[in-house]
Structure 1
Amino acid sequence: MKKKILFVNGHLNVGGVEKSLIDILKNFNYEEYEVDLILFEGLGDYYNELPNEVNLHFLDITSTYGSYKECIKKCLKKKDWFTFFMKIILILSSKINQKFLKLARPLLKINKYYDCAIAFRVGFCGEVVGNCVNSKKKICWWHHGECQYSEKTRKRMIETFDMFDTIVSVSKGCQLMIENYFGNLTNKTIVIPNMIDIESIENKAKLFNPYLNDEHEWKFITVGRLSLEKHVDNVVYIANELLQQGFNNFIWYVVGDGPEKDKIKQLINEYNIKNYIKLIGSKNNPYPYIYYADLLIHTSLVESQCLTVLEGLTLQKPCIVTRSIGPEEFIDQHKNGILTTKDPSDISKEVLLLSKNKKLKEILICNSLKTVQRTYSIEIIMKKIYDSIN
């Protein structure tokens, strides 16, 4: 008899967490496992990559978002009783105790008994699995590169973790961070990094060359959400620093969208460097932009693991990376990549060094793919996942 596994997540929009989830589901052994997936916020960009074997249950709770009065008013007008009762339960859960979520079981219709239930995000997904799912084993995935919560939220998260058998962290640095921050997790935490599907990435990377008409000697690429923690505005300051040093035969492509986009556009105009930086938006397939570039520069201040850099290494790109707990785990300085501070002058120095030192560039390229093959291959990561759920 097949073992029954449940994954719970918000959506399948483009993002590191969702990419990791899709990679796991695409490589599951469906001859031995029956897999259900519950989503609460939407299907998203990766929906088309979801294997047919996965039983998808979409329970849209987005209509519960917003103020209590407005939500209840709309529910009564539309006779939307699912949203009406979910909103009340969520308020009770938030204001009194998360155990009130147990009242949502009939609404969510999670009636199966599972061999293993996996909350692929902390927060609401974790609380639903903890309170509403019957299973032999419960696992919660931790993907975040920092812990900055109010004391009330921290205590609530500890209550949630108490309902789980295992807390999975995507890096050793993250594991130590959450053990120190939450306490009493030492016997529960394990490390399962996000996998890198080398063959798929290589195939997608060669589908087209986005720079066919670009004659710049150096093409830089940065891939990431345009949000505060990704610090993509630093691209402007680094580019300006390079220009002041007389290094000007480059173009810098930025793949991604987010709330900081207008701010970054404004900075580009202020520094009058729109001929050197191109914001090209989010891409379902960013790999050609990495593969055909000369250098990947990652500016993020917070990374639990850093899929983008690992994908860059997979495509044998030299990578200059701002230090954080994720990349510090796999970047060996000046051997398979370059770690630096967030200071634009430090990053620009490394760019200039790499532009002049062909030997260093060759070393980085030579060692990059080996790093991924050694630790992050599908076979290695899926074995860790099967070991954790059995």
Structure 2
Amino acid sequence: MAYKIIVIENILSVNFVREQALLEKPKLDGQIKLLTVGRFCYPKAFDLAVRICAGLVDKGVPVKWYAIGYGDEKPILDAIKEYNMQEHFIILGKRTNPYPYIAACNIYIQPSRYEGKAVTVREAQIIGKPVVITAFNTSESQLKNGFDGLIVPMNIEDAVSGIKTLIEDKSLQDKFRENMSARDYGNSKEVELVYKLIP
């Protein structure tokens, strides 16, 4: 049945994302502001994000990690309570326009257990934010490790170590920004595939 199948990726407009990022200026507290956007569900691993956050705080890294999304908050809230992260891991809930929050953070993190292709990673790269993702099965299709982002192991200790390294290494952050600015992360041409389906 292969001849009946066509793959059309989520369509991303670079101009749209950047324009939307300028519409608000959210005030995020914290010396180092981390952000994750996604559904509150097991695959997106917000509960792991809380544990990673706790590991960073234990190592003296002054982070505030913001979570945008909706869904089952209980595992996240349970983890926040268990690790006493009430002052460090903040659930912002659903936002119709998450782009200004991406623009306001220092580093965007996608701590997923598994992904198809995380559109939010591309959106963060379009906005020019250093990105960290966990080593889920399709992670290497999302970014080039060490070039325009960082892939960290899914275990807590190594994830903490990788994120801490990026936070402290400003030259690596600058390298990511420079390499991202030279790449086109948009794929507006995908819409042409849609047009071809219309008789």
Specify the SS of the correspondent of 1:233. helix
State how far apart, in whole Å, the 1-side matches of 2:190 and 2:137 are. Answer: 20
Amino acid at match of 1:377: N
Q: Which residue of 2 aligns with 1:23?
A: none
State how far apart, in whole Å, the 1-side matches of 2:198 and 2:151 are. Answer: 35
Cα distance, 1:188 vs. partner? 3.8
State how far apart, in whole Å, the 2-side matches of 1:228 and 1:332 are. Answer: 25
The aligned length equals: 199
State how far apart, in whole Å, the 2-side matches of 1:347 and 1:270 are. Answer: 19
Contact conserved, 2:103 with 2:129, CA < 8 A, in 1?
Answer: yes
Specify the SS of the correspondent of 1:191. coil
State how far apart, in whole Å, the 2-side matches of 1:304 and 1:369 are. Answer: 24
State how far apart, in whole Å, the 1-side matches of 2:139 and 2:13 are. Answer: 18
1:188 to 1:324, Cα distance in 2 relative to 1, 3 A: farther
Contact conserved, 1:323 with 1:341, CA < 8 A, in 2?
Answer: yes
Contact conserved, 2:67 with 2:90, CA < 8 A, in 1?
Answer: yes
1:360 to 1:209, Cα distance in 2 relative to 1, 3 A: same
- Structure showing greater radius of gyration is 1
Contact conserved, 1:306 with 1:327, CA < 8 A, in 2?
Answer: no
Cα distance, 1:386 vs. partner? 2.7
- Please tell me whether residue 251 in structure 1 is matched to residue 64 in structure 2: yes
State how far apart, in whole Å, the 2-side matches of 1:235 and 1:355 are. Answer: 16
TM-score (norm. length: structure 2): 0.91
Q: 1:348 aligns with which of 160, 164, 175?
A: 160
State how far apart, in whole Å, the 1-side matches of 2:160 and 2:47 are. Answer: 14
Q: Which residue of 1 aligns with 2:194?
A: 385
State how far apart, in whole Å, the 1-side matches of 2:2 and 2:102 are. Answer: 38
Contact conserved, 2:34 with 2:106, CA < 8 A, in 1?
Answer: yes
- Please tell me whether residue 198 in structure 1 is matched to residue 198 in structure 2: no
User: Structure 2, unaligned stretches of length 5 or more?
Assistant: none
Q: Which residue of 1 aligns with 2:48?
A: 234
Contact conserved, 2:53 with 2:63, CA < 8 A, in 1?
Answer: no
State how far apart, in whole Å, the 2-side matches of 1:325 and 1:384 are. Answer: 27
Amino acid at match of 2:161: K
Q: Which residue of 1 aligns with 2:119?
A: 307
Deviations 1:295-342 (A, max 9, x none): 011012222111111111111011101233444213101101111222
State how far apart, in whole Å, the 1-side matches of 2:194 and 2:121 are. Answer: 22
State how far apart, in whole Å, the 2-side matches of 1:343 and 1:370 are. Answer: 32
User: Structure 1, unaligned stretches of length 5 or more?
Assistant: 1-184
Q: 1:357 aligns with which of 166, 169, 178?
A: 169
Contact conserved, 1:305 with 1:325, CA < 8 A, in 2?
Answer: no
Q: 1:262 aligns with which of 44, 69, 74?
A: 74
State how far apart, in whole Å, the 1-side matches of 2:41 and 2:167 are. Answer: 29
Specify the SS of the correspondent of 1:280. strand
Specify the SS of the correspondent of 2:151. strand
Specify the SS of the correspondent of 2:180. helix
Amino acid at match of 1:211: K
Q: Cα RMSD between the aligned structures?
A: 1.9
Q: Which residue of 2 aligns with 1:224?
A: 38
